[in-house]
Chains A and B, each alone.
Chain A
Amino acid sequence: MLSMKNISKVYQTEKVQTHALRDFNLNVDEGEFIAVTGPSGSGKTTFLNIAGMLEPFTGGDFMLDDVNVGTLSDNQRADLRNQKIGFIFQGFNLIPDLNLYENIEVPLRYRGIKSAERKRRIEECLEKVGLASRAKHLPQQLSGGQQQRVAIARALAGKPRFLLADEPTGNLDSLMARQVMELLEEINREGSTIIMVTHDSELARRAPRNIQVVDGQLADFTLYQNKAMDEIAAKAGQPAIEA
């Protein structure tokens, strides 16, 4: 359902060319839960941005559900993001002036879903993340963990094919991080495909499939090959997973 072939991303300044990704190949099947790790600056976030169509890529082919992403216009990419992808950000990215209900409503409005259906989905998602009673609260009235659960509810409300999570636990303490991870696992069990970028080795190991980005290229491992991954990382001169 997601396929990247020889994807490259070059950032060009006046004098310097930086290859953030090169010859990046990845296939993701329906229902997978993938943890993406790699050292800082290795291209994890660039990969996530391209997977989520948040920025264009320089070369290669990217197919998402049989749609060739490279040929889409800005509006078509926005619509496709809205319909197929749910985002979970490290900093939660809730809109501070909107209450929880209205925050979850944002992507649903962009899709043009009718008010009654929006209400049904928002309540269902708030219920799922355990915050049904706080729909009228503003984000700043919640703890970090609760805010991230709202962000997850927002991502889920559009019933996306993919959940892209960028360091979803990066701003949380370990207890809250675990709760968020459990929620993601539950969502994955229910059928959603999740790609999660993380620094946290413990969380990464809980994902059935681990991939590592090193110097803009992909190393693909299953959970059971983490040792080998560490060795490759060691060759690249960087710790694979920060403890």
Chain B
Amino acid sequence: MLEIKPVFSALLRSKAGAVMLLIQIALTTAIVSNAAFIINDRIDYLSQETGYPEDEIFSFTVKSFDPNLDISQKFEETETMLRNIPGVENAGLFNASPLSGSGSATGLSLAPASERGPDVRTAYYQADENALDILGLSVSQGRNFRADEVIVSQTRDVFPQVVIVSRALAKELFPEGDVLGQTVYFGSDPLEIIGIVELMKGPWLQDSKPDNVAIIPFVSASAFQHIIVRTQSEQRAAIMRQIEDLMLEDHGKRVIIGLKEMDVRKAEYNSSNTLMLRMLVVLIIVLLLVTALGIFGLTVFNINKRTKQIGTRRALGARKSAIINYFLVENAMICSIGVTIGSIGALFLGRVLLEHYSIPALDNMYILFTALFVIAISLLSVLMPANKAANISPSIATRSI
């Protein structure tokens, strides 16, 4: 039989411990639901599809210091050398490495700069006709660059006339209607969209529009170059070990720096997110443990304090199950008030986080699940001491000490 009313009156008359526990349960519910939501949001972020075969790609930077070098020609030779390494699928010059946190962005508009039309912010990569293959991408609509469309130049006097865009960018530029064959403007230079890639990410995953990416067939013939190499995934490590020697063999007057795998660059870029994720997981575990221990401790304390009372109840005819129920009901009361207050607190905390820390709006299901989880933990924590209480002998009642 559940003794709701007498348990409630008894609770009201000795509130202190219960109120402390209630506050702890409320705080746990409020913090854990928000932390769990943020964790899930970050896990989604960290495990998002980037479109690239990250475990096949690495990149590095080359600085040439030979003043007499014909840069365009030398890099053509270097590219050929790299592509001929066994295990290398493709290699080429890029202005930036995807997912690395460093790159270029611009506003593409539907009208030349002089007419000041609306523009759409996008990251862009500059590379030759091998760009898609090097990055392990392919067009889903339209076509790839032809070799004759690629401009190799030290200045921007001559600029390409075509561009390949990501689906996200295409949609934002032309929400309705055809995209292929349309013209967009890079400053005042017109570019015809010739192909669409379903998914490719820019250098900044944390950007509000990480999916807006354009590839422009332009190679800047400068002494400072970024090279991206795609290999067979199991060959990548071995090739990376020999790349510096091969590059210097190819041409001695250059320096190789920043040799890194694409997934490592991405992990470094996301390291603060990963750290936050781990800290939140630790926070959740600690909070839940402290709450569980708090409930356990309070119940043990209450049982020790009420040993005689429990014996008396048993003497008056309480079955063991009635004693267990008493503590479960008492705990369920504290806990349900606690999670109710905690849920309101969670909504409030979620709103504050939304306003001040650009965290997405808290999904109410997280509050519900956290509340249920806290109740479950709480009942489990009370079960063991309650069982101990039920085993108190009724003969305690007649002991005078």
Contacts and interface: CB of A to CB of B under 8 A. Distances in A.
Contact of B400 (A90, A106, A110, A154): A90
Interface string A144-178: 00000000001000100000001100100000000
Contact of A110 (B9, B14, B318): B318
B319 A75 contact: yes
A70 to B, nearest CB: 17
A81 B316 CA distance: 7
Contacts of B395: 49, 54-55
A106 B315 contact: no
A54 B319 contact: no
Contacts of A90: 398, 400
B316 A89 contact: no
Interface string A88-116: 01110101111100100111011110000
Contacts of B313: 95, 106, 110
Interface in B257-315: 308-309, 312-315
A63 B10 CA distance: 37
A110 B322 contact: yes
B6 interface: yes
A48 interface: yes
A83 interface: yes
Contacts of B201: none
B365 interface: no
B315 A98 contact: no
B317 A110 contact: yes
A38 interface: no
Interface of A: 45, 48-49, 52-55, 74-75, 78-79, 81-83, 87, 89-91, 93, 95-99, 102, 105-107, 109-112, 138, 154, 158, 166-167, 170
8 contacts: A54-B315, A75-B319, A87-B315, A87-B316, A91-B308, A98-B10, A102-B6, A109-B3
Contact of B6 (A49, A96, A105): A105
Given A93-B315, A95-B10, 4 more contacts: A49-B398, A75-B319, A95-B312, A110-B322
B180 interface: no
Nearest to B394: A54
B393 interface: yes
Nearest to A92: B312
B320 interface: yes
B13 interface: yes
A91 B400 contact: yes
A2 B254 CA distance: 108
A138 B3 contact: no
Given A55-B393, A79-B317, A97-B13, A110 B6 contact: no
Given A55-B395, A78-B318, A166-B398, A98 B9 contact: yes
Contact of A81 (B13, B317, B321): B317
Contact of B317 (A82, A89, A105): A82
A183 B400 CA distance: 23
